[in-house]
Structure 1
């Protein structure tokens, strides 16, 4: 029996279009249906967007514990780091605390704007 060793890993592309958010925190008119969904059912919207981002579906439910919503703050910081967006944790904290629905809408628009499909080149199952 022979074993195969994977020497090279698939390359993950990183989107670094700009160092600014693609839309402002109050640009709700850019995607009205999503903003309505976020406004009327923010926990559901946040769970869906967290799953699309690649995190646990139930992560935003942690926001009910505490004054500063930890999941919203964490997702915002993670997104800034992933996409290379300038900003500060202080600004993220203020937005996550006082503009939760708007923050999730902005993150959703940013994910749509910077979406890169992952393609595995020469991916073969090894047995």
Structure 2
């Protein structure tokens, strides 16, 4: 008799709790004026801090310096939309990342502060 071992890694599952829209608009800087000023005057530092809070490499946003469309800003927006179940378009993400970088980082920071949804592994069990 042979035994067969099956190993499956648990996959993270996000349960969308809340709205399917951004919690604040791209230009809602009045919701957190100190944060908005920090993002405006020192966007690279603010982007690095926001990226670290999101759980990614702290130096990742520095790669945005080398392109016309900031790839890290755009990918973070897309990732955040996926994580929080926000319905929007990649075209709009591209537009905001390119034309309104500091506003885009502020919006993502406000979204993380507002939602505070931890990543929870569901149905992770030993078999």
TM-score (norm 2): 0.82
Are positions 1:76 and 2:71 aligned together? Answer: no
Are positions 1:59 and 2:69 aligned together? Answer: no
User: 5+ unaligned residues in a row in structure 1: which ranges?
Assistant: 1-6, 121-127
Query: Could you report, residue by residue, the CA deviation over 1:100-126 in whole angstroms, capped at 9, with x for unpaired residues?
Result: 000000000000011135689xxxxxx
**Residue 43 and residue 118 in structure 1: after superposition, are their counterparts in 2 closer, same or farther (change >3 A)?**
same
Alignment of 1:81-92 (within 5 A): 81-92=82-93
**Separation (CA, whole Å) in 2 of partners of 1:114 and 1:107:** 11
**Residue 20 and residue 118 in structure 1: after superposition, are their counterparts in 2 closer, same or farther (change >3 A)?**
closer
User: 5+ unaligned residues in a row in structure 2: which ranges?
Assistant: 1-7, 122-127
Alignment of 1:1-127 (within 5 A): 14-117=15-118
**Separation (CA, whole Å) in 1 of partners of 2:109 and 2:92:** 18
